[in-house]
Structure 1
């Protein structure tokens, strides 16, 4: 098959690599220009560089909506478009152009977690597994029939970084299997159950701000979901922004006002958490390691020298 690839960052890079290792011909690659967005500077292996190394023509676009791109696609005469981590909507005149349609590869277990940053949102929400889905594209974002889907379990201490590495390793095999199915002429793919669909927005720094009214269990997952190299979960103490690098849920139950720097427990310092903390039935968050505004990493017991005072969402 003649294949055009749409993709960006490491997800797109892995997809293009899988296409190059297949028996099919990659005739054109479309990717986004480099971005200064905090989340788009992470896992930024270049689709453009990989394509250029293999003599594949490259188009740099923020959106696929100009006449030149459409003309180049028609000249490429693709049997299939394969997309992964293309950041904007691909219109019907493009995804419907190839003879066999467009295959999109998405890093969630669709129909859940369509949209952006699915691994991070899934970890925050306490999902037991995450994964990758290859599906045929239609008019609704991330909603087409499923060709191949694979899952990996989420462990109790897994970070978003751990889950990124496990899911990105699924891309190559999933792409290869999907290409075999499509090339064979199969079209009996599984429709998504749209009653189970969810759709999430792109994350920003604001989404890493800790709300001490959340239960400690939820905040602990937020910390793991914002592991290095992601922008860390953060709070403020005495006017300074503090990034929380490692935390756990307290063994003890503590009452009071959410955000209170309360007591030492184990290797860390307990922060009162939860909207019902005043009832004395909530576990706290044990902060174990922090990063200060100047980039210094410290044990929480060194940073919080005395108990008392409050962590707040604003300076």
Structure 2
């Protein structure tokens, strides 16, 4: 097929490589300029570099709404556009332009977790599985008919980093198979919009620990914000303190959420939960922390005395 590719970061890089490896004629690649956003500096394999290394024309755009881009797409006489991790909406004059329309690859099990950072949100929410969906683009973001979908289970100790590596490895085979289905014929599966959810971009505030959350949710937040993502954090004595490893305590502890309470095993328990005052639920067993200057240490070495609080502000 003669295709154009819209994409960014490692997700887009894997998609473009899949198109090249499958022998498709890639007429044009459109990608975003490099960004200083915390979540866009990681998994940042360059789509532009890969395209240029393969002699493919590249256009850098923040938004796809200029006459030059539309003219190039029309001139290319495309069979298909393939998109992955394109960060803004594509208008219908673009996604309807090719003979077969536009195929989007999204790293969630649509219709759930449309939008941004789906793996992080899914892990925080305790989903039993995550995955990748290939769907046809329409006028609503991540809402078009499904061509193909693959799921992987989420284990009890998995981090978002683990899930990223397992889902990104699905991109190439899903892209290749979805295009084969489009070429040979398939039955589109409409998304059940009653099950849809849509999530915003994550920012620093989304990694700040709320000690009134159920402790199981906080423990998943720590795993969801695994390195190289910005870690889950709180403030201790006016300074940011990142929690890099934690688990649910064995014992039940009561008091005020955020209280630095007691040592257990190799960690230190922080009182947590919406019913912490009743003393019938576990706390968060913090095992490793990282200070604002990047120093990482065992929680037992950092918290030399008990008492005081981890808070949501300096």
**TM-score if structure 1 supplies the norm length?**
0.99
Q: CA deviation at 1:58?
A: 0.2
Q: Does 1:75 align with 2:98?
A: no
Q: Matched residues in 1 for 2:95 and 2:124: separation? A: 32
Structure 2 unaligned blocks of 5 or more: none
Q: Matched residues in 1 for 2:239 and 2:214: separation? A: 23
Q: Does 1:15 align with 2:32?
A: no
Q: CA deviation at 1:281?
A: 1.3
Matched residue, 2:143:
143
Cα displacement string for residues 116-162 of structure 1 (whole angstroms, at most 9, x for unaligned residues): 00000000000000000000000011011111100000000000000
Q: How does 1:1-315 map to 2 (within 5 A)?
A: 1-184=1-184, 186-315=185-314
Q: Matched residues in 1 for 2:57 and 2:187: separation? A: 33
**Aligned partner of residue 39 in structure 2, secondary structure:** helix
Q: CA deviation at 1:67?
A: 0.3
Q: CA deviation at 1:242?
A: 0.3
Q: Matched residues in 1 for 2:173 and 2:186: separation? A: 19
Q: Matched residues in 2 for 1:181 and 1:275: separation? A: 49
Alignment length (residue pairs): 314
**Aligned partner of residue 29 in structure 1, secondary structure:** strand
TM-align CA RMSD:
0.6
**Aligned partner of residue 69 in structure 1, secondary structure:** helix
Q: Matched residues in 1 for 2:261 and 2:69: separation? A: 59
Q: CA deviation at 1:265?
A: 0.6
**Aligned partner of residue 49 in structure 2, secondary structure:** helix
Q: Matched residues in 2 for 1:101 and 1:124: separation? A: 34
Q: CA deviation at 1:27?
A: 0.6
Q: Matched residues in 2 for 1:274 and 1:301: separation? A: 22
**Aligned partner of residue 240 in structure 2, secondary structure:** strand
Q: CA deviation at 1:235?
A: 0.4
**TM-score if structure 2 supplies the norm length?**
0.99
Q: Matched residues in 1 for 2:233 and 2:301: separation? A: 17
